[in-house]
Amino acid sequence: MELDEKKYLYLLILLPLIVLVFLANLYWKRKKQQEFGDLEMVKKLSPESSVFKPVLKLIVLLLAFLGLIFALVNPKIGTKMETVKREGIDIVFAMDVSKSMLAEDVAPNRLDKSKQLVSQIIKQLGNDRIGIVAYAGSAFPVLPITTDYGVARMFLQSMNTEMVSSQGTSLDEAIKLSLTYFDDKSKTSKLLILISDGEDHSEGAESMAEEANKAGMKIITVGIGTEKGATIPLKRNGIVESYQKDNNNEVVVTKLNKASLDAIAKATKGGYVNGNNTKEVVEYIKGTLDKIQKTEFESTEMADYQSQFQWFLGFAFLLLFADVFLLERKTNWVKKLDLFNEAS
């Protein structure tokens, strides 16, 4: 059995509280009766008053509350085992986190735009496995291949320009690290979605892309930024303090280098797409994924759990309905049983 909403079990503390309230009320009534007169005299004045019925009403109320609580918890019972087959591809997102990605020629800035794009792409995925790589002057593994999209989004939002100490943009390092994410023995289709402004400060990105092509990896490059370019604001607490400068103390203007990204994509028979329009990117990626062959990479036996809350809910309502008809006066058949020695 599996409990769907365990947090509602804390409501069980209400049951002893109800008992305490009942006992306090019983004590108050008895005290008031003593103030009114002799208890034996009061009992004779109300011969139909039952001691058993209030206790019975309390038990019914407690069981009804218990039923409602378990209905909220929603116990589930596994009724059968079934085999789940997953078909998809392995996708690695390589994200540029160099300082140039702070440029604001794309709102809110290039890095945040990259996060939005990846997040939207993930929403379109089905059973594909994904991983994340961050790179600047060197590459850094952020998230290994996984099917947990929730965890992927969490890691995605935490990415920033401080996570890779070596600055610059080494596209070859990003491709090289991404290759290690894929199992050479696996027949699963491999796709690298490389997101960058294309300003490559290294050599060998195209040759590394050719190596990736030999390993069966396709690369889609997504260009972030404009060819006109923009300065790189350096902020503290959201306020611009200065702008990135080069070794000559000149303000740096970073521009989108479409040519380098296009060349990398062509080396693996992939494609390039401008990342400034989210809808256009998502549709392009979706179209590419539809053309890639899916491979079965996981087969798991899982229990098919079914909710049981309706039984507890019905039980609770039945008891609450019965409670309406439980008056606090004696019932003839209960009188005959004399469970509480009330006849004497």
Q: What is the pLDDT along the chain (344 residues), one digit of tens a residue?
A: 667 778 888 888 888 888 898 888 877 877 766 666 555 555 554 555 556 677 777 888 888 888 888 888 888 776 666 666 677 889 999 999 999 999 999 999 999 999 999 999 999 888 889 999 999 888 999 999 988 899 999 999 999 988 887 777 789 999 999 999 988 777 788 999 999 998 876 778 889 999 999 999 999 999 999 999 999 898 888 788 888 887 888 898 999 999 999 999 999 999 999 999 999 999 999 999 988 888 776 655 556 667 777 888 888 888 888 777 665 545 554 455 554 454 54
Q: Which of 187, 199, 228, 194 is nearest to 209 (CA)?
A: 194
By DSSP bridging, strand 230-231 and strand 190-196 are unpaired
Q: Do 63 and 165 share a domain, yes or no?
A: no
Cα distance between residue 325 and residue 309, in whole Å: 25
Q: Do 8 and 39 share a domain, yes or no?
A: yes
Give residue 18's domain range: 2-74+308-337
Contact indicator for 170, 198 with CB cutoff of 8 Å: no
Q: Do 106 and 36 share a domain, yes or no?
A: no
Q: Do 100 and 232 share a domain, yes or no?
A: yes
Residue 344 within any structural domain of the chain: no
Residue 324: enclosing H or E segment and its boundaries? helix 309-324
Q: Do 54 and 159 share a domain, yes or no?
A: no
Q: Do 47 and 186 share a domain, yes or no?
A: no
Q: Do 119 and 139 share a domain, yes or no?
A: yes
Rg (Cα) of the chain, in Å, rounded?
35
Contact indicator for 163, 143 with CB cutoff of 8 Å: no
Q: What amino acid occupies position 290?
A: D
